[in-house]
Amino acid sequence: MLSAFVNAFRTPDLRRKLLFVLMIIVIFRAGSQVPAPGVNVANVRECISLAQEGENAGLYSLVNLFSGGALLQLTIFALGIMPYITASIILQLLVVVIPRLEMLKKEGQAGQTKITQYTRYLTLGLALLQATGIVALARSGGLLQCELPLLHSDGTSTFLVMVITMTAGTAVIMWLGELITERGVGNGMSILIFCQVVATFPASLWQVQKTTGSWWVFGVVIAIGLVVVAGVIFIEQAQRRIPVQYARRMVGRKMFGGSSTYIPLKVNQAGIIPVIFASSLLYLPAMAVQFNQTSTNPVITFFNDYFVTQSHPLYMAVYFGLIVFFTYFYVSITFNPVEVADNMKKYGGFIPGIRAGKPTEDYLSYVLSRITLPGALYLGLISLIPLIAFVLIDANQNFPFGGTSILIMVGVALDTVKQIESQLQQRNYEGFLR
């Protein structure tokens, strides 16, 4: 593996790509540390330290995770990559619902370029809304539930400057991600997400030792974490390959077809999207409680008793159930057995032992439903690890070995290594995986 890294840096064009990615990452992390205009940095740091001792920051833990801790520090990159992720998910769902977007998706590269443009516009719109809400909460003191003023001034001009700065920061993040995709190695947005999650990893890991005060417990956590990482890698790489045979056909004087291939169906076909859906949905009760703290409404009381504290068994059960539901839901809208079966029939393809048309569609649906179940259970169990750790060792909600963070780190790392591997193989070098 070390020799592969040496070979990667010995290749001039690949070395330039890797150094370019590192330069963008440095710029990105530097922007995540620069406070937005009008922020009282000293008070913000004191309020964050107070919030970490309690559970006040838990409401924003998902967005704060995707911003690498920049959200609660109110930096120029406070929103991180979250608006882009949300916009991408919304567009993926709308493609299934809106015929016009579905037609664009089928147009190939030109249609995909148009959908990407819509994603950018929607990202800026969501960034504007999120920035407005976050700055409003910071001005009122509700962001960290702290009595110290987070801003130097409560004026309208400071409010507008902060909102515009954070929205512009999101636009810059999008641009940096696209630069990595075009001129670097790997998917730019995924690499930026990876950097933000990794940025919080050492602090979250050290928080375990600081909370428990025991090096023995810390060592056990590290050992369990390595086992979890190995399990995640195993599941993320697992796939069911359905063989497909293409019949030979004569077109003019040329013979086409006769080849064999396969349809790779991953066990975790939905990726990390169900976890984001479930987490976002369960934030709504916590937000309702926060904005109605003095209310005696029985619904608000119920939410306050069972859904604000993430360590409650009912919260865990609902969280697990939502992840399983959204896994099946997302897989059903992203993989269409009818469309796949029609395309196979159109180009003379068939699954050995299965007739073309409706039998192929039924077979694909059957296999997909069978492999989605272990994928959904896997996502649910991995996502419960931070909540269980919070109960057992009183760890931080952003427990590093589990949940959203471990799925992102392992998934993006595997994808990036594969892309570097392919670059090396094109130059007849040995890759990372021997």
pLDDT digit string, tens, across residues 174-197: 999 999 988 888 888 888 888 888
Q: Which of 23-27, 146-150, 184-188 has the highest mean pLDDT?
A: 23-27
Q: What is the mean pLDDT of the segment spanning 371-386?
A: 89
Instruction: Give residue limits of the domains in the chain.
Output: 32-184
Query: In which band, very low, low, confident or very high, does the pLDDT at 128 lie, cut at 50, 70 and 90?
Result: very high
Q: Is the pLDDT of residue 172 over 90?
A: yes
Amino acid, res. 12: P
* Residue 213 in this model has a pLDDT that exceeds 80: no
pLDDT of residue 363: 92
What is residue 118's three-state secondary structure?
helix
Query: Is 423 within 8 Å of 14 (Cβ atoms)?
Result: yes
Q: What are phi and psi of 214, to 5 degrees?
A: -130, 125
Question: Is it the case that residue 200 has pLDDT exceeding 70?
Answer: yes
Residue 264: strand, helix, or coil? strand
Taking the C-alpha atoms of residue 133 and residue 11, their distance in angstroms, rounded to an integer, is 47
For residue 56, pLDDT over 50 is answered with no
Contact in structure between 71 and 134 (CB atoms under 8 Å) = yes
Quote the pLDDT of residue 140: 79
The answer to whether the beta carbons of residues 150 and 42 sit under 8 Å apart is no
Q: Report the distance separating Cα 171 and Cα 138, nearest Å.
A: 22
Per-residue model confidence as pLDDT tens digits over 287-314: 777 667 666 778 777 777 777 777 778 8
- Rg over alpha carbons for the chain, rounded to the nearest Å, is 24
| Cα 20 from Cα 373, distance rounded (Å) | 41
Helices (H), 238-346: 273-291, 298-306, 313-334, 337-346
Distances 352 to 301, 363, 370 between C-alpha atoms, Å:
58, 12, 19
pLDDT at res. 376: 92
CA angle 138, 140, 142 (to 5 degrees): 65
Cβ–Cβ under 8 Å, residues 360 and 379:
no
CA-CA distance, 343 to 337, in Å (whole number)? 10
Q: How confident is the model at residue 134 (pLDDT cuts 50, 70, 90)?
A: confident
pLDDT of residue 81: 84
Q: What region, left, alpha or beta, does residue 239 occupy, with left being phi > 0 and alpha being psi -120 to 50 degrees?
A: beta
**Tokens describing residue 131:** 């920035």
pLDDT recorded at residue 246: 80
What is the rounded average pLDDT for all residues in the chain?
A: 81
Burial class (CB in 10 A: 0-12, 13-18, 19+), 1: exposed
- Give residue 23's pLDDT: 93
| Residue 44 contacts residue 149 (beta carbons within 8 Å) | no
